[in-house]
Amino acid sequence: EAIKRAVDFYFTPQPAQAHQPSTVFLVNPSIDTETLLAHAYESLGCASAMASNFASELSGLQRSTALAIQQIVMLAELAVNRALDRVDPQT
């Protein structure tokens, strides 16, 4: 019996369990993609402004780090904006 359990444990792959996301914070699944992207764009804009304001209070390496974070947020904002353009192209 012990050998069977050992063989099963090491050589029989376990079926992958489906990932169950936490339900502490849940986005309504019925919200459309355009609305989700618009909210993400606004949130990224706020995060960029906060990082910029925070960077102005710092100096040296800490300032550089805050500005780098702001730049990464701005790049994400550009990507979301492009996705929004694809969802609802402005003519």
pLDDT (tens digit, 9 = 90+) per residue, 33-47? 999 999 999 999 999
| pTM listed for this prediction | 0.67
- Give, as one character, the DSSP assignment of residue 89: -
Q: How far apart are CA 63 and CA 56, in angstroms?
A: 7
What is residue 31's predicted lDDT score, i.e. its pLDDT?
93
Strands, E, within 13-69: which ranges?
A: none
Is the distance from CB of 50 to CB of 74 less than 8 angstroms?
no
| pLDDT at 90 exceeding the cut of 90 | no
Q: Any idea where the domains of the chain sit in the sequence?
A: 20-87
What is residue 71's predicted lDDT score, i.e. its pLDDT?
95
Q: How far apart are CA 40 and CA 87, in angstroms?
A: 14
pLDDT in tens, 10-62: 777 777 777 777 778 888 889 999 999 999 999 999 999 999 999 999 999 99
